[in-house]
Structure 1
Amino acid sequence: MQYRIRDGHPLPHNPFKAIVAPRPIGWISSVDKAGRVNLAPYSFFNGVADDPPMVMFSINDRKVGRRDETKDSLVNVRETGEFVANVVGWELRDAMNLTSGAYAPGEDELAMAGLTAAPSLEVAPPRIAEAPASMECRLVQEIVLPHGDRSMENVMVIGEVVAVHIRDAFLTDGIFDLTKVQPVARCGYKDYAVVRELFSMTRPGGGDAGNMKP
C-alpha cells in the first residue's frame, strides 16, 4: 500500500502517528503572568541536543483570535519564556490523561489530577513532585511551521534545560532506571506504549549507542 500525502490515504484512519511511534510525552507545566499554573501533555516532544541539553514540544495553534485552553502552554511560554517538562511514568498515566482535557484558562490541572506542585530551582513554573524526573527549561526559540488548515499553524517550542530533578527511587547505581520509571509513550490512534524492557548495543569501535561523554 502506498499513497501521496496530497491525494490522501485509503485507510480508515491516518497511519502517520502510528508510523512515527512511540513518542515520549512531554508533560508541560507553565505559568501565566499572574502566576496561575497550567499543565498539559504533548506527544510531539523530544530531546534535540545534549550540549547544552535542549528539548522541544510542538503545538498546533490558531494564527489569530481567541485563547484556546489547549494552547495555554504556548501563551504562557510566550509570556514568561519558561516551562518544565515532566516525565510521565506508568503510575501517572491516568493523571496525565486527565490533564489532556480542554479546561478554562486558569483551571489548576495539577490540583484536579491530585498532583503536587513542587518548587523549581531556576524557573517560575512548578514541577510535578510525583514525576520520576523533571527538566526546567528556558525558551530558546519558537519555530512556526505550516499547517494544512490555513487558519492554524504548527509551533515548535525549543527550550534549554537549566535544571534537572530526579526522584531517588528511580535511580539504580547512579543510572536513571527506565525499567522502574516505565515511561508512557504515545502511539497512533488511541494507543499508548510503556517501556518495561531494555537491551544494550555496542557501537563499532567500542563506543556506546548513547553517545555519552565521559
Structure 2
Amino acid sequence: MPSPTSRRVLDPASPDVDAYRWLTDLVVPRPIAWVSTLSAEGIGNLAPHSFFTVACARPAIVQFTSVGDKDTLRNVRATGEFVVNLVSRPLLEAANASSASYPHDVDEADELEIAVEPSECVAPPRVVASPASIECVLHSMIGLGDSTVVLGRVVRITVREDVLVEDRPAIALLEPLSRLGGSEWGLPPEPVRVRRPR
C-alpha cells in the first residue's frame, strides 16, 4: 500500500479560495456546448459553454450553465431557443476565438467567418462544420448564485452522415474536444471498451 500523502483542504465559501478555478481544474474533462442563439432583434451569438451535459432521456433534455448574465443567456430568455453545436478538433481555434467578449450587437459567426446554416426546427442557425447539432427549445431555467442552469428540450438532433459507423456516431470521426483547467483543452479521447455487469 502506498503511504498516504498530505492533502490541501479548501473551503469554497472562503473569500481566499477561488472555487471556480479549483472546480474547473478538477471536474475534467468537460464536454463543450458551442451554443448558437439569436437575440430578440435577430442578431446571432455563438459562444462555448463547458458546464454542459444531458439532463433527461425522456423527454430528451440537455443543460448548460451560464456563469454570469451573458449574451447567450439573454438571448435564450428572449426567444426560448438555442442550438448546441459539437466542437470537433478542427474547430478548436474557431470555438476558442468565439469565447472572447464581443459587443452584444456583434455576431461572432460573422466576425470570425464561421459558416452557419438554417437549423431544422428552431430559428438560431447551426455551425456548418460541426459534426452534430442539438436543437432545443427552453424547458426551464434555474438560478444558482452567480450562475443560471438552462434546460432545453431537444426538438431535433442532426448528425453528419460521414461521422456515422453502423448507424452510430463514431468517436474517432466526431473528434470531440473538451475543456480542462485554465487555458487547457482536451483532445479527442481514446475509447476503452468495458462490458457492463448484468
TM-score (norm 2): 0.90
Q: Percent identity?
A: 34
Name the structure 2 match of 1:43: 50
Cα displacement string for residues 102-141 of structure 1 (whole angstroms, at most 9, x for unaligned residues):
0111212112222211111111100111101000000001
Match of 1:168 among 133, 156, 161: 161
Paired residue type of 1:176: P
Query: What's the CA shift for 1:9?
Result: 4.8
Structure 1 residue ranges, 4+ long, deviating more than 3 angstroms after superposition: 6-10
Partner of 2:13, secondary structure, is helix
The structure 2 residue matched to 1:199, chosen from 185, 192, 195, is 192
| 2:3 matched residue in structure 1 | none
Query: In the alignment, is residue 29 of structure 1 matched against residue 36 of structure 2?
Result: yes
Alpha-carbon offset, residue 96 of structure 1:
0.2
Distance 1:120 1:9 in 2: 42
In 1, Cα distance between the equivalents of 2:133 and 2:177?
15
Pairing of 1:143-158 with structure 2 (within 5 A): 143-146=142-145, 153-158=146-151
Measured in 2, the distance between the counterparts of 1:124 and 1:26 equals 17
Provide the alpha-carbon RMSD of the alignment: 1.6
Structure 2 CA distance for aligned equivalents of residues 115 and 46 of structure 1: 24
Report the 3-state secondary structure (helix = DSSP H, G, I; strand = E; otherwise coil) of the residue aligned with 1:195.
coil
Which residue of 2 is the match for residue 212 of structure 1? none
Tell me whether 123-132 or 106-115 shows the greater mean CA deviation.
106-115
**1:17-40 Cα deviation digits (max 9, x unpaired):** 121110001000000122111100
Where in structure 2 are there 5+ consecutive unaligned residues? 1-6
Aligned mates of 1:134, 1:6 — CA distance in 2? 37
Mapped to 2, the partners of 1:89 and 1:43 lie a distance apart of 14
Shift of 1:195: 2.0
Equivalent position of 1:182 in the other structure: 175
Amino acid of the structure 2 residue aligned with 1:30: T
Unaligned runs of 5+ in 1: 63-70, 147-152, 206-214
Alignment of 1:54 onto 2:53: no
State how far apart, in whole Å, the 2-side matches of 1:112 and 1:181 are.
26
